[in-house]
Amino acid sequence: MRTLNIKRTYFDLIQNGRKTVEVRVGYNSIQRIQQGEQLLIQTGGGEMTVNVTAVRTYKNFEAMLATEHASAIVPGKGSAEVLGILKSIYPPDKERFGVYAFQLEVVA
């Protein structure tokens, strides 16, 4: 089972079902994640298992946010705010690998 590390704030939002889409850039390890796979999500002091119910790919963050609901990525934030958050995490040289949006469902 693959492991993804995530900040505690986002971990808690996934765990309580408010964050249903995790966005990553297309590193080789990310490109190999497939629909139907289970992932171990870890943060300091916690872990959970999630099912990947869908994988969607995009050229860049703007294209992704034209399709994905910003509130599924960062609950309570609009597209412009989510774009700013993503660009602060991933510089342009990483975004060029492509953008992956994983639809997640917590395993009970």
Which CATH number goes with the domain that contains 75?
2.30.130.30
Q: By residue range, what is the domain housing residue 22?
A: 2-106
Looking at the chain, how many residues does it have?
108
Residue linked to tokens 């971990």: 11
How many structural domains comprise the chain? Answer: 1
What SS3 state is found at 27? coil
Alpha-carbon Rg of the chain, whole angstroms? Answer: 13
Pairing of β 21-25 and β 38-43: unpaired
**pLDDT tens by residue, 17-65:** 999 999 999 999 999 999 999 999 999 989 999 999 999 999 999 999 9
Q: Model's pTM, two decimal places?
A: 0.95
**Phi, psi (rounded to 5 degrees) for 96:** -65, -15
Share of the chain above pLDDT 70, in %: 100
